[in-house]
Structure 1
């Protein structure tokens, strides 16, 4: 009898099911790879993770990953992308026809977990490799003329909550400022819009240069002291962004050794034109020239620099180490505290002859929520 009473009391105080809001809070802090397993736990979790609110919440908390794309077409992994979470030391492999429609020679740009795949000989695709969703943009032409080359960029407007693709048409090689026209495509509207002749087009571009609703690049000209240009996806306007105080006219002789990027969610400039050290600047208050701060001065660490080496600063990790891509073939970590550099050995990465590396945030943002009206396709798994 006593046992029965005790059992009833225990049953009476059994904790109830956690509220959905708390479950969502917990799930939104998990890495993508873990969430794949969570999708299979129960229907409630599946629908919670598939909800647009969850996708936005998880994206705001998701750590930045490294996206790797081999450069050469004949490489065994040329149709693969890798997303590497350096904090959790996990990898996601994205394969052509499973996570996205086609890769080949295409340029890959990332924004909020969505990828834009573009190539002059193929259609432009916008896809989410996590969900296997993609849309195909109609082929764009300008006046029926054959341009010398086309350049494509992908971005997001926080003001209008819209994703857009801009395509530049370059007709004359030796006049980069006034001889380009452009068209823009708002995802969900279904057609290209002509924005005419543009004051400057996208050149000398860092893959990771989208911040504050705008895409940034460098254009060095003899008749202008400014060299940081941007295109704002909200206003659809081009403008100049003030450069760091010490990166003026003398740096134009070393334009191949200055790169624009994004570090700590802020615009950054990496200047490695000096053979003895290189500087990393961060614009702490966007658009304000006086807010540029020289955050790092990295000396010529033994074994790190060679003549003509090319560096791309990708991200700053939580422990303060700086991840860089050297000569499009080697990943290195530099520790400012210890003043040392080490090669980053990731399974299957440094065996590639050459690759692009950029910051990427895998997400559950679904194209069916941001591309309404588009012909959405889903790849079979």
Structure 2
């Protein structure tokens, strides 16, 4: 038998991947890590159009890993730089591949003291509390898109403001709520003694709505002065330390626009005396509570079924934790549970702790932490938040 030469056809100018049905291309792109997807926008106008579509954003969001977004803070100069770190792959990748540095393409005004309020579905809420107009920005740091919310001229005097960003599961709309705090003097006419009490009013803005802030009146619960990084099940959560009503977990639901009490672990009782530092957060898509004391270590509780009081479970008990802070308690805030089972925690607001339940608690500075995760060390201070990569 003689060998036959089979003629070959001339290759198309377009790649084989370009010729695939759009649905298959979407399936492939939606499963890519954010760093690769960021580069895919440059392949062709067709791919850019697919990636920029809002429906693709929702598809990719449902499959995206949780990442850590860092905003470096330079004491002597201003910066718009953001760093997105995929901690799930940080253990096994080259330092330059484990993080994606963004210098945002959008030209929002350079804020004096811009802060990351919180993130929701990969979108960021930024504000500048030093500006008299107190501007608020909602931005997508990857696409480089942002909107500026209308300036809110609150009626009356107030001492401080707090902002929270969330998503309504009821209407599929993003909303921003702003709290105006004021110290009010109350006089006990029996004792003729006065005392201070902090009260708050709230106004809410619906993105894509009428373009107006709506007054919600007085907030029925005490607000603690910290960022709201505990968005889960359509609501932001915080701990109430004044015990002005049974239970100590409070929330604001962006769907119903109502404040309410969330059931706490049964073991805590109605008015649990806290043993040290405590915070509320979100771990593995569940509401969580972290409690730390010098004598008892760290307890981490998780609410496996939202709203079900009996679903609270003490998932992690970390003993033999050394307190290094003189005259007070160390600050531990769980951020996320990695695929390896390790827990990433914020430590004293300026460092990170990586706890391996199989080993011990590793305490290290920011630089050492990033060396541990095979990430390039960063010499600057930073402000961080947990986010899901979103286009």
Residues 3, 337 of structure 1: CA spacing in aligned structure 2 closer, same or farther, 3 A cutoff?
Answer: same
Residues 155, 9 of structure 1: CA spacing in aligned structure 2 closer, same or farther, 3 A cutoff?
Answer: closer
Partner of 1:224: 245
Residues 356, 272 of structure 1: CA spacing in aligned structure 2 closer, same or farther, 3 A cutoff?
Answer: farther
Asked if the contact 2:222–2:242 (Cα under 8 Å) also holds between the matched residues in 1, the reply is no
Report the count of equivalent residues.
353
For the aligned residue pairs, the C-alpha RMSD in angstroms reads: 2.7
**C-alpha distance in structure 2 between counterparts of 1:332 and 1:207, whole Å:** 21
Which string of whole-angstrom CA distances, capped at 9 and with x for unpartnered residues, describes residues 314-371 of structure 1?
0000111000111112112101122342542255666335x4332111211xxxxxxx
Paired residue secondary structure (1:246): helix
Which string of whole-angstrom CA distances, capped at 9 and with x for unpartnered residues, describes residues 230-270 of structure 1?
0000000000001112334664455x611000000010000
Asked if the contact 2:228–2:238 (Cα under 8 Å) also holds between the matched residues in 1, the reply is no
**Following TM superposition, by how much is the alpha carbon of 1:76 offset from its aligned partner in structure 2, in angstroms?**
4.8
Partner of 1:42: 44
Paired residue secondary structure (1:332): strand
Residues 252, 94 of structure 1: CA spacing in aligned structure 2 closer, same or farther, 3 A cutoff?
Answer: farther
Partner of 1:88: 89
For residues 64-103 of structure 1, the aligned pairs below 5 Å read 64-70=66-72, 74-76=75-77, 79-89=80-90, 90-95=98-103, 98=106, 100-103=108-111
Aligned with residue 131 of structure 1, among 143, 155, 168 = 143
For residues 191-206 of structure 1, the aligned pairs below 5 Å read 191-200=212-221, 202-205=223-226
* Structure 1 portions without partners, runs of 5+: 365-381
Which string of whole-angstrom CA distances, capped at 9 and with x for unpartnered residues, describes residues 8-64 of structure 1?
6999xx989322212211111111111122112223222211121111111111111
Paired residue secondary structure (1:57): helix
Residues 204, 294 of structure 1: CA spacing in aligned structure 2 closer, same or farther, 3 A cutoff?
Answer: farther
* Structure 2 portions without partners, runs of 5+: 91-97, 185-195
Q: Does 2:105 align with 1:105?
A: no
Aligned with residue 301 of structure 2, among 278, 281, 298 = 281
**Following TM superposition, by how much is the alpha carbon of 1:129 offset from its aligned partner in structure 2, in angstroms?**
1.1
Paired residue secondary structure (2:62): helix
Larger CA deviation: 216-225 vs 287-296: 216-225
Aligned with residue 294 of structure 1, among 290, 314, 320 = 314
**C-alpha distance in structure 2 between counterparts of 1:99 and 1:238, whole Å:** 36
**C-alpha distance in structure 1 between counterparts of 2:330 and 2:363, whole Å:** 16
Residues 7, 24 of structure 1: CA spacing in aligned structure 2 closer, same or farther, 3 A cutoff?
Answer: same
**Following TM superposition, by how much is the alpha carbon of 1:225 offset from its aligned partner in structure 2, in angstroms?**
3.2
**Following TM superposition, by how much is the alpha carbon of 1:99 offset from its aligned partner in structure 2, in angstroms?**
6.9
For residues 168-317 of structure 1, the aligned pairs below 5 Å read 168-172=179-183, 174-176=196-198, 179-189=199-209, 190-200=211-221, 202-205=223-226, 207-248=228-269, 251-254=272-275, 257-301=277-321, 305-307=323-325, 308-317=329-338
**Following TM superposition, by how much is the alpha carbon of 1:208 offset from its aligned partner in structure 2, in angstroms?**
2.1
Tell me the TM-score normalised to structure 1 length. 0.84
Larger CA deviation: 74-83 vs 35-44: 74-83
**C-alpha distance in structure 1 between counterparts of 2:105 and 2:59, whole Å:** 28
Partner of 2:188: none
